[in-house]
Amino acid sequence: MSKTVKTPDVVVRVEKSGNRYNAWDTDGNKRTSEITTGCRKKAHKGDYLLGRFTGTTGKTYWRKVEGEAPSVTTDSVPVDVPTDHAEVLSFIHGSYSLKPRGLMMNELKWKYLVRSGVRGKNIMMTGPAGCGKTMAAKSLVNALDRPDFYFNLGATQDPRATLIGNVHFEKKSGTYFSESVFVKAIQTPNAVILLDELSRAHPDAWNILMTVLDYGQRYLRLDEADGQQTIKVADGVTFVATANIGNEYTSTRVMDKALMDRFTVVEMDVLSENEENELLTYMFPNVDSTVLGNVAKIANLTRVESKSDTARVGSGISTRTTVELAGLLYDGFSLVEAAEVSIYPQYDDAGGVDSERTFVKQIIQKFCDDGSSDDLFNEEEVLEATEA
């Protein structure tokens, strides 16, 4: 391959906001959601700029570029929370353009999400795994130009340390308390605080958050801290939580009703076959469109099945999985191969021919061979389910 010097079409500088790394281009637009966290973090640590390039396949990618920092500094960008009613209205109703194209979410739901954010509601994104809850929550955070913090509560073993802090001991000074990033976050006026996977958090975390999320209380109790007993939540702080809620999540602890009551629920819709197809086509323009159409059909068939009274699978194939699968197709794997590694492991094979896995395999095979194989479906059944 010949080496040509390429010029990036967009250049960004990465700044730290709360515990997140935000990317700003020369025009002051936020590009955070377009660049991976690792890439942004490195650029910030290494104090270099990132440029956007287009590869031979037409996909864009970001890498280090030399040059002066863009002149726009985020310090000079005001924290933009509209207060005037007319302004709020126009912000909400003009906000669909702030939704990243790669996020499939209908206009009403997106506006409802933005409105809840602007109005300082505690937001709870619900829906089955892999339907875009975290993605939508992060997109909202990016759309609102405010200091933001991210906490994955499903991944923390010690909610007290994460949400409150740690008590340390030193020979000289005795015990002392070091507060958590969360304590800093709630004291940051107008911060947007993402509480990802709240449904999977330890019940201790829910208890700690009860007073924090209560509109009438809005404080954090520091049991362990000396002296100071409570920390007030600063004005304008917005919480955005996510929860896997769906009948297939029996392992998820059922969240306390009192905690749920503190949230405005925004339900993420599972994509329709058309939306799924549109998303995959947008993300993978170079993959055969018929195959992508089949992936959307397969996912939809499993979703329809999982909702039927006589469901043979507990849950449908998620959008996360179809995106992964399409990525494998893009990298040259066949549909059969891609399904084998990305879909089948999610379905139980206990019960042999009656297993969930066998059922899903048969749907997929329907789209892989000439249709002459003797399986669970005939053409009409497949058509029926597709049209449902």
Ligand X SMILES: Nc1ncnc2c1ncn2[C@@H]1O[C@H](COP(=O)(O)OP(=O)(O)O)[C@@H](O)[C@H]1O
Binding site for ligand X (CB under 6 A): 102-105, 127, 129-135, 242, 271, 279, 319-320, 323
Region 53-72 residues binding Mg ion, contact defined as CB under 5 A: none
- Closer by beta carbon to Mg ion, 103 or else 368: 103
Please name the residues in contact with 64: beta carbons below 8 A apart, sequence gap of 6 or more.
Answer: 43, 46, 48, 49, 50, 51
321 binds Mg ion (CB under 5 A): no
Choices 24-32, 128-136, 165-173, 208-216; region in contact with Mg ion by CB under 5 A: 128-136
- Which partner in Mg ion, ligand X, none is near 194 (CB below 5 to 8 A by kind)? none
Name the closest residue to Mg ion (Cβ).
134
- Which partner in ligand X, Mg ion, none is near 323 (CB below 5 to 8 A by kind)? ligand X
Taking the complex as a whole, the smallest distance from the CB of residue 32 to ligand X amounts, in Å, to 14
Taking the complex as a whole, the smallest distance from the CB of residue 35 to ligand X amounts, in Å, to 14
Q: CA–CA separation, 176 vs 173, rounded Å?
A: 8
- Which partner in Mg ion, ligand X, none is near 103 (CB below 5 to 8 A by kind)? ligand X
**CA distances in angstroms from 114 to 119, 151, 242, 306, 338, listed in the order given:** 8, 20, 15, 31, 36
Choices 26-34, 134-142, 250-258, 288-296; region in contact with Mg ion by CB under 5 A: 134-142
* Cβ pair 263, 122 in contact under 8 A: yes
- Which partner in Mg ion, ligand X, none is near 135 (CB below 5 to 8 A by kind)? ligand X
Q: Which amino acid is at 318?
A: S
- Which partner in ligand X, Mg ion, none is near 277 (CB below 5 to 8 A by kind)? none
Taking the complex as a whole, the smallest distance from the CB of residue 372 to ligand X amounts, in Å, to 34
Q: Which amino acid is at 11?
A: V
DSSP letter at 30? B
- Closer by beta carbon to Mg ion, 17 or else 134: 134
Taking the complex as a whole, the smallest distance from the CB of residue 227 to ligand X amounts, in Å, to 39
Tokens of 323: 């995106």
- Closer by beta carbon to ligand X, 105 or else 233: 105
- Closer by beta carbon to ligand X, 264 or else 365: 264
Please name the residues in contact with 383: beta carbons below 8 A apart, sequence gap of 6 or more.
Answer: none
Taking the complex as a whole, the smallest distance from the CB of residue 56 to Mg ion amounts, in Å, to 32
Taking the complex as a whole, the smallest distance from the CB of residue 192 to Mg ion amounts, in Å, to 16
- Closer by beta carbon to ligand X, 200 or else 366: 200
- Closer by beta carbon to Mg ion, 156 or else 365: 156
Q: CA–CA separation, 322 vs 283, rounded Å?
A: 11
- Which partner in Mg ion, ligand X, none is near 220 (CB below 5 to 8 A by kind)? none
Taking the complex as a whole, the smallest distance from the CB of residue 110 to ligand X amounts, in Å, to 11
Q: Rg of the chain's alpha carbons, rounded to an integer?
A: 24
Question: Nearest-5° angle of CA 144, CA 61, CA 59?
Answer: 105
Taking the complex as a whole, the smallest distance from the CB of residue 128 to ligand X amounts, in Å, to 7
- Closer by beta carbon to ligand X, 225 or else 317: 317
For 74, phi then psi, to 5°, come to -70, -20
Among 22, 32, 122, 134, binds Mg ion (CB under 5 A): 134
DSSP letter at 124? E
- Closer by beta carbon to ligand X, 102 or else 120: 102
Tokens of 104: 């499939």
End-to-end CA distance of the chain: 49
Q: CA–CA separation, 325 vs 280, rounded Å?
A: 10
- How many residues interact with Mg ion (rule CB under 5 A)? 1
Backbone torsion region of residue 311, taken as left when φ is above 0, otherwise alpha when ψ lies between -120 and 50, otherwise beta: beta
* Cβ pair 162, 180 in contact under 8 A: yes
Q: CA–CA separation, 96 vs 212, rounded Å?
A: 30
- Closer by beta carbon to ligand X, 36 or else 175: 36
* Cβ pair 50, 23 in contact under 8 A: yes
Taking the complex as a whole, the smallest distance from the CB of residue 276 to ligand X amounts, in Å, to 9
Q: Which residues bind Mg ion (CB under 5 A)?
A: 134
